[in-house]
Structures are given as structure tokens and as C-alpha cells.
Structure 1
Amino acid sequence: MVQVKGASSNKVFQRFTTLDIVLMAMLAAANAVLTVFLSPLNQALNGLGGPILTSTITGLYMIYGLLAYYIIRKPGTALITYGIGAVVQAFMGTAYGILSCFVAAACYLVIVEGAFALVRYKKWSWPMLMVTGGAMVPVWFFFAAQMFGYTKWGMDVLLIALVVRVLSGMILCGLLVKLLGDALAGSGLLRRFAASRRMEA
């Protein structure tokens, strides 16, 4: 356990339990499977509406790490969950290349860890989760634009795609995490996790 002065700090920096690690690994594995199914959907949307329509499902790619953080509520959760997710995706194979798995994971975890550190791990409301979900998008979008040639779209399409992706991150990641997390906590399945003990309206 990390020792930090102050009663409130001692409650924040806790060692991960075996159950925490198992949950993070399960969510990372589930995401890898989800990504397999999202790839053809992504291609279909791209064929129908190009980069704008494809951008509508962006939030689903990020949800697993933020959901783990909402349930466990310990610093480092995003680092471990997105890290495991990147490794699992790399082993399973991805249409976007192995490098993209790790770059995307790094972008996501930096934003999530930073966001909850700023509020000292005390804010778990839906506005906080939606803002975090939206904030996860721009950094990865910048790297993705360089890696996948988004710059050929033109500035107007780039800006619209970015806005759509941010909205997708807010809704299909941030808001959906709140709904899923609270539903699971209310069912009693998460009674050994922080989300069950500190549910917020």
C-alpha cells in the first residue's frame, strides 16, 4: 500500500485487490472481443457516410477503461485496464495495426488518470464522466489523423468528425458508463467495489 500523509489521501491510494485485477482484465478482454465486431460495423458506416458517420461509434472503443475506473475508483485503474486492453487487442489482431492499440491506450489513460486526479477521485457524477469521455477523444484523434491519413479529408470534415467523436465519447462512453455502472451496482453485483458503496444520483 502506498503511504501518504493525511486521512483522505490514505483512502485514495489503495493497493489493488485480486478482484480489482480480475475485473480490469475481464473488461479489457471484453473490449477486445467488442472491437472485433465493431470493425466491420465501422467499415459499413464508412461506406455509407464516410468519416462523419464512422465517428458516431467512437465512444464504444473507449468505454471499458472508464467503466473500470468508475467501478473500482482507485488511481492507476485506467493505466492497468487500457494497458491490458492494448496487449489483448495486439494478440487478437486488429484491422488498425498493433501500434494503434498502444498509442490509443496511452492517449486514453493519460486523460482519464489526469481527469480524476484533478478532482482528487471524489467526483463520479454523470457530468464528470461525460466530460472525461469527451476529453479522451482529441489527443488520440490527433495521432490517428497522422497514422491513418485523416489529414486528406480536408479541414471542414476533420472538424466535423472531431466534434462528432467528442459527442460520441461523451454519450457512448461517459454517459453509458454512468448508466451501466449504476445498473450493475444497483443489482448487487458490485457490492465489493467502491461504486456500490458510493453511488451518486
Structure 2
Amino acid sequence: MNHSSGNGVFKAFTTIEIVLMAMLAAANGVMTTFLSPLNQALNGLGGPIATSTITGLYMIYGLLAYYIIRKPGTAVITYGIGAVVQSFMGSAYGIASCFVAAACYMVIAELVFAAFRYKKWNLPVLMLAGGAMVPIWFFFAARMFGYMAWGTDVLFIALGVRILSGIVMCGMLAKLLGDVLNRSGLLRRFAVSSGRRANQ
């Protein structure tokens, strides 16, 4: 696609932006494959609370794409592609979970950046997005995977740990990775390189 000739924040995605979203989604599919054994190991060490510490890593690819591209709809496309990739690669949690999780992530991410009118891309906003994406998926996951059997105390502690993981391992890490890639010169053709619609 070429850039839209219209004004405002709603512009078409370029081919290179779509390629980047697809690459990040594919990388997430590979990373998820390696995270599954780690998740199982953490579960053996500390149960659901321990496994909750890496929750943010499962969401980072879509938020990183949004930070780099800075266009409405980025989360929808990136998380959508990610769900398809994971379903083809196989998921230890089932195909349905791939699409439900992606839907939860994309809706919240789009709402957060829309709330700031696509003008703020600083660390607090990314941390907010990373933490905010957790609860709605946790609500569905609790019913899909039987989390309700954990008991109320464990359930709330696990949710708190997951939100913290979303803030740090999704929000903060996405900002860090985006800035590192930007300084390397690899993102010269993306909005992040010129700080478009950004308050750094």
C-alpha cells in the first residue's frame, strides 16, 4: 500500500510497514514456541504466580509494532497476523486461545492510543498499554484454562503479577527495543525515526 493522500492520523499502511508487522508476528510465533518450556518450568517451580512473570513477553510484538509505526489499526493487523502464525505453528494452549488473546490485546491497545489521539508515545503511555492489555485476556483465560480453581487469593496475586509483567516486559521493553533499533538506523523509514506524532 502507499501512503494515503488524506490528512489526519488515518493513513494507509505502506508495504514496508506491513512487512514489519508480519516479521514481528512471525518472530513472536517462534518466541512463543521457546516460551512454552520456560512456562512449564516456572509452573513447576512456583505455580501460576511464577508463570505470570513472563506474561508481558507474549504481548510485546504488537506494542513494539505500534511504537514504531504509530498508525491506528497497527495492533489489529499485528496481533491478527500473530494469531494466525501461532495457530499454524501449533500452540500448547489451543488455537482458540491464540485468537481470543489477540482480540483482547488489539482492542485494548487500540483504545489506549486512541485515548491519547495517537500523539503520545512516551514510556508512561507504553507502560499503561502493556498493563492494560492484561486483565481482559486474564478474564477469558481464567474460564478457558480453569484458573478459577486456583482460589481467590492466588487468582488476584497472579493477576497483579501479570499486570506488572505487562508494564515491564511489554511496555518498558517495547520502548527500550524500539529506541535501540531506532538508534541503529534500521527504522529510518518509520514514524519512530522522526518522532512523528510523538512526545518522547
The TM-score bracket by the shorter chain reads over 0.9
Distance in 2, Cα, partners of 1:37 & 1:187: 27
TM-score computed with the length of structure 1 as normaliser? 0.95
Q: Counterpart in 2 of 1:194?
A: 191
8 Å Cα contact 2:68-2:190 kept in structure 1: yes
3-state SS, counterpart of residue 15 of structure 1:
coil
**2:166 aligned residue (169, 174, 178):** 169
Aligned residues: 195
TM-score computed with the length of structure 2 as normaliser? 0.95
Q: Describe the superposition over 1:122-149 as per-residue Cα deviations: whole angstroms up to 9, x where unpaired.
A: 0100000001100000000000000000
1:96 aligns with 2:90: no
Q: Once superposed, which parts of structure 1, at least 4 consecutive aligned residues long, lie more than 4 Å away?
A: none
Distance in 2, Cα, partners of 1:133 & 1:160: 18
Q: Counterpart in 2 of 1:6?
A: none
Q: Counterpart in 1 of 2:30?
A: 33
Q: How does 1:1-201 map to 2 (within 5 A)?
A: 1=4, 3=6, 10-198=7-195, 201=200
CA 1:2/1:154 → structure 2, altered by over 3 Å: closer, same or farther? farther
Query: Structure 1 unaligned runs (5+)?
Result: 4-9
3-state SS, counterpart of residue 160 of structure 2:
helix
Distance in 1, Cα, partners of 2:66 & 2:150: 34
Distance in 1, Cα, partners of 2:5 & 2:37: 44
1:187 is displaced (CA, Å) by 1.0
1:2 is displaced (CA, Å) by 8.0
Q: Percent identity?
A: 75
Distance in 2, Cα, partners of 1:159 & 1:103: 21
Distance in 2, Cα, partners of 1:52 & 1:200: 35
8 Å Cα contact 1:2-1:13 kept in structure 2: no
Query: Structure 2 unaligned runs (5+)?
Result: none
Partner AA of 1:166 in structure 2:
I
Q: What root-mean-square deviation, in Å, do the aligned CA atoms of Structure 1 and Structure 2 show? A: 1.1
